[in-house]
């Protein structure tokens, strides 16, 4: 049995201002293959009015850890940025070598007043993923960022992860309320509420959506896909492309008002009508197929017409929409 990798830490600095301030002049962190060093002196202050850390920047080749943080009473202003952390180089005394971590981690966390914004990106030999979130200090309140436009709301999030790296089990439940999508600079649209449950077990991923539109109607989707997230996975020689994963499931809609769908696509100006469906889902995540009874009552849509291929007409000759 191999011994855990040795971790070495050395620091030097001095106290001043009646030991309220510590000027950190030198900090070195070393483990096999990696040596971190303080890029410039940092300052830690702790007194009755303030707790702060400034100018903290630890570097190792392209890897960096930077922290600027201050707390005065209940007022918090902090920023942590971790860039290009090499997961495969982390010491075995801190990380179980059986995990066989590999890839690069980027993390950016900002806290101001009572809100926290965080983005995280992970890139490995078989998977690249990013996540972003906004959190309030109220327990259970969560607002996620969206790539389709400005969104807001409240949500309760529950996550359970157990099993092992070669046989993981996951249950993620999100209950969202007061969902809104931004229509313009000073206007937002109430979308409704939703419950999402995502599970992974026995190499099968499953997603269940129960959505109630603020304008009336319900939508229920239950879909699954075969997916091997075990680590290490000898059978995975390339990254998992989520859009190409085959899906199977069911879609049921009852008098669902679809007017809010236009806010998800900038090429669509308006959508109207009510959707009723009882259908089977197939195809892939990126190109799903709906097979079965689908009815769109009083349906109407106005879409922005794309410019001709290879050129863009002048504004005076460009049609604004087509019906």
- Which distant-in-sequence residues (6+ apart) come within 8 Å of 11 by Cβ? 24, 26, 27, 28
* Contact criterion met (CB below 8 Å) for 192 and 210: no
Mean pLDDT, consecutive 10-residue segments, the chain of 323 residues?
A: 73 87 93 92 91 95 95 89 91 70 85 78 62 48 40 67 74 79 64 89 93 90 90 60 89 87 69 89 91 84 60 41 35
* 206 CA to centre of own chain: 18
* 246 CA to centre of own chain: 22
Tell me the CA distances in angstroms from 92 to 80, 86, 285, one per residue in order: 24, 13, 37
Say what the pLDDT of residue 99 is: 62
> Position of tokens 């855990």?
4
Say what the pLDDT of residue 42 is: 96
Say what the pLDDT of residue 140 is: 38
Say what the pLDDT of residue 205 is: 93
Q: Is the dihedral of CA 218, 224, 225, 231 positive or negative?
A: positive
First to last CA, the chain: 71
> Position of tokens 């799903």?
288
C-alpha closest to that of 214 among 265, 166, 158, 153 = 153
Say what the pLDDT of residue 242 is: 81
| H helix count then E strand count, the chain | 0, 19
Domain boundaries, the chain: 1-137, 150-323
Say what the pLDDT of residue 318 is: 39
C-alpha closest to that of 260 among 292, 219, 306 = 219
Say what the pLDDT of residue 278 is: 94
**C-beta neighbour count of 162 within 10 angstroms:** 10
Say what the pLDDT of residue 232 is: 61
C-alpha closest to that of 157 among 170, 171, 142 = 142
Say what the pLDDT of residue 58 is: 96
- Which distant-in-sequence residues (6+ apart) come within 8 Å of 309 by Cβ? none
Say what the pLDDT of residue 117 is: 79
């Amino acid at each position: 049995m191999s011994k855990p990798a040795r971790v070495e830490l050395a620091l030097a600095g001095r106290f001043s201002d009646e030991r309220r301030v510590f000027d950190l002049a030198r900090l070195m962190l070393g483990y096999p293959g990696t040596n971190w060093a303080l890029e410039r002196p940092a300052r830690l202050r702790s007194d009755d009015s303030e707790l702060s850390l400034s100018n903290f920047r630890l570097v190792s080749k392209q890897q960096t850890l930077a922290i600027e943080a201050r707390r005065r009473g209940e007022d918090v202003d902090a920023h942590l940025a971790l860039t290009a952390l090499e997961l495969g180089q982390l010491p075995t005394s801190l990380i179980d070598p059986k995990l066989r971590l590999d890839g690069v981690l980027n993390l950016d966390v900002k806290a101001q007043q009572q809100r926290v914004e965080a983005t995280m990106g992970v890139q490995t030999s078989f998977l690249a993923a990013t996540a972003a979130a906004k959190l309030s200090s109220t327990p259970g309140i969560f607002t996620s960022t969206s790539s389709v436009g400005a969104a807001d709301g409240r949500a309760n999030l529950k996550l359970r992860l157990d099993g092992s790296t070669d046989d993981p089990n996951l249950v993620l439940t999100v209950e969202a309320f007061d969902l809104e999508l931004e229509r313009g600079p000073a206007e937002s649209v109430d979308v409704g509420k939703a419950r999402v449950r995502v599970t992974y077990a026995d190499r099968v991923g499953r997603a269940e959506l129960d959505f109630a539109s603020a304008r009336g109607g319900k939508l229920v989707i239950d879909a699954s896909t075969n997916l091997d997230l075990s680590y290490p996975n000898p059978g995975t020689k390339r990254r998992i492309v989520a859009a190409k994963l085959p899906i199977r499931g069911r879609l049921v809609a009852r008098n669902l008002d679809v007017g809010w769908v236009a806010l998800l696509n900038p090429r669509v100006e308006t959508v109207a009508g009510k959707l009723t469906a009882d259908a089977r889902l197939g195809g892939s995540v990126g190109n799903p197929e709906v097979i079965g009874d689908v009815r769109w009552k009083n349906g109407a849509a106005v879409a922005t017409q794309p410019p001709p291929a290879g050129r863009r007409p002048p504004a005076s000759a460009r049609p604004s929409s087509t019906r």
